[in-house]
Amino acid sequence: MSMNAVAMNARVSHAAGVAGNATRGRSAAAARQVARGRAATTAIRAVVGDDRDEAQTLAVSGRRAALTNAAAVLAAAVAFPAIADEEAVEAPAAAPSAAPAAAPAAPLKKAVPLTPVSQPTMAYEFSYPSETRDGAPIRWAPSRQRDTYSSAEPMSPDARQRIVYELISFKGPMTATVTVGPAPPKLAETKPEDWKPKQVAEAVLADRATGRIATGQKVSLAEVEFAREQVIGDTTYVYYEYISQGSPNLAERESTTFRHSLGVSARRGDYLYTYTMSAPETLWDANADGFEAGIKSFRLVAPNKKKFREPGNEGLLPPLPF
């Protein structure tokens, strides 16, 4: 082999060795790079795994704490139910709604003053008003005061009903009258237990009337507005209101006038005791309250054996003064 060939072979061998060393160096560097990547991945997985384990551990711990707290609350509710109830009730109360404004109260009626009257000989008592609704005084004057039925003036020609007590107020005029008489013919044929309130009122008014029809029967010129009865003690009282035709007076100068009246009738034995109060229609509103109070005050009282004189059986001797 020539020298040139030997030298060329040597340079080729040296270049091949250098190339092999370079290739091996690059392979080692790549291997080291892969190793580093795998190590980093492993480290990351380790960290992630640790984080997941820690999160799982915290979740388990949280669930255990929640269960422990729930068990404690349940035990407290069982051991102390009153406390649990109080805590449950202690909710914020709703604000009370404003109450509606109360309606203004109606003004009370002023009581009309009354003057009492007692008649022991015939065993009755009543009262009459001394003022009107507006407080104006009423001046009454006694017209008749009789102690017995036989001494009283009759109201009609047949002398059945008689006036035993009468008061007159000349302003109007207004009257307060007590009459006594046997049961009217319209009631005599019926048992007292079967008498109707309006029937009693119409019979009493017809018995004191002076109007008659062709057959001679009395007719009442009064119209009964209402009638009712009330049992007080052992006595039945029939209350009624009626309107009758009046006559011209100082307050009403028209040819046709009307009077407004209240009445009450009660039976003792075979006789009816009746108390009536009457006024012109123009004066009724001012006196209605006092008249009603007066009518309600009428009573048949227990007879005094020494003083009482029964109508129709009065005897010859006057009543004793004591």
Say what the pLDDT of residue 100 is: 64
Range picked from 1-15, 16-30, 196-210, 279-293 for highest mean pLDDT: 279-293
Q: 302 pLDDT exceeds 70?
A: yes
DSSP bridge partners of 115: 128
Map tokens 């009738």 to a residue.
265
More confident residue, 52 or 303: 303
Q: Which residues 6+ apart lie within 8 Å of 177 measured at CB?
A: 163, 165, 166, 167, 275, 276, 277, 278
Range picked from 17-31, 159-173, 225-239 for highest mean pLDDT: 225-239
Say what the pLDDT of residue 36 is: 59
Q: Which of 179, 182, 225 is nearest to 201 (CA)?
A: 225
309 to 45, 147, 320: CA distances (angstroms): 133, 8, 10
Q: Tell me the three state secondary structure of residue 130.
A: coil
> Average pLDDT of 149-173?
89
Can you tell me the distance from the alpha carbon of 189 to that of 167, in angstroms, rounded to the nearest whole number? Answer: 33
Residue count (the chain): 322
Element containing residue 229 per DSSP (H, E): strand 222-232
> Average pLDDT of 241-249?
78
Can you tell me the distance from the alpha carbon of 275 to that of 261, in angstroms, rounded to the nearest whole number? Answer: 11
Q: Are 297 and 109 in contact (CB under 8 A)?
A: no
- The string of pLDDT tens digits covering residues 260-278 is 999 999 999 999 999 999 9
Range picked from 2-16, 95-109, 118-132, 200-214 for highest mean pLDDT: 118-132
pLDDT > 70: what percent of the chain?
57
pLDDT band at 238 (very low <50, low <70, confident <90, very high): very high
DSSP strands (E only) in 120-221: 124-129, 141-145, 153-154, 162-169, 174-182
pLDDT band at 216 (very low <50, low <70, confident <90, very high): low
Say what the pLDDT of residue 138 is: 95
Q: Which of 269, 274, 167, 181 is nearest to 227 (CA)?
A: 274
DSSP state, residue 252: -
Say what the pLDDT of residue 236 is: 96
CA 69 to mean position of chain CA atoms: 56
Can you tell me the distance from the alpha carbon of 59 to that of 148, in angstroms, rounded to the nearest whole number? Answer: 115
For the chain, where are the alpha helices, taking DSSP H only?
A: 3-79, 81-89, 185-188, 197-208, 284-296
pLDDT band at 249 (very low <50, low <70, confident <90, very high): low
Can you tell me the distance from the alpha carbon of 242 to that of 251, in angstroms, rounded to the nearest whole number? Answer: 20
DSSP bridge partners of 222: 244
For 153-261, where are the alpha helices, taking DSSP H only?
A: 185-188, 197-208
114-300 CATH fold: Protein Transport Mog1p; Chain A (3.40.1000)
